[in-house]
Amino acid sequence: MKTHFFGLAVCIGLLSSACLGQDIVGKWKTIDDEDGKPRSVVEIYKQGDKYFGKITEIFYRPNETPDPLCDKCSDERKGKKIIGMVIIRNLEKKGNEFKGGDILDPKTGKIYDCKLWIENGVLKVRGYVSFLYRTQSWYKHP
């Protein structure tokens, strides 16, 4: 009887920590808003107490130049290669969300405030300016 209770307690503990402690660290596949196809892989990592994300792979379309530069960026990333570029910066974990940083859209060069959270195993990525926002779904990548 004690063995069964202990096993049940361990299972409940593991399940609750898995649900509450979902982490954004890892590789995530982004989906293009326009055609619904995979667009890139972003690797999210923790540095100190902040979270960052860099592009590690791009799924090119037939008409695109491989290994593109961010020609529309307006900050220190202007003219830099998009592969390897840090597009998510300075997020902090607050409860079940990661926020307080920013995200760059390399296609337009625009930088938005950013908030991330996991919902049903899917990473929700919200970029916003004031009360206007757009939320994307990113999927775990092996």
**What CATH number is given to the structural domain containing 32?**
2.40.128.520
Query: What is the rounded distance in angstroms from the CA atom of residue 101 to the CA atom of residue 88?
Result: 7
**Residue 123 located in a structural domain:** yes
User: What's the number of domains the chain is made of?
Assistant: 1
- Taken in order 40, 125, 70, 79, the sign of the CA dihedral is negative
**Residue 16 located in a structural domain:** no
- Please give the residue range of the domain that contains residue 131: 23-140
pLDDT on residue 59: 95
Q: Above 60 in pLDDT, residue 6?
A: no
Choice among 7-11, 76-80, 129-133 with the minimum mean pLDDT: 7-11
pLDDT on residue 66: 87
pTM (two decimals): 0.83
pLDDT on residue 15: 38
Query: What is the rounded distance in angstroms from the CA atom of residue 81 to the CA atom of residue 4?
Result: 56
**Residue 52 located in a structural domain:** yes
**Residue 134 located in a structural domain:** yes
Helices vs strands, H then E, count in the chain: 1, 8
Token pair recorded at residue 7: 């096993």
Query: What is the rounded distance in angstroms from the CA atom of residue 80 to the CA atom of residue 89?
Result: 16
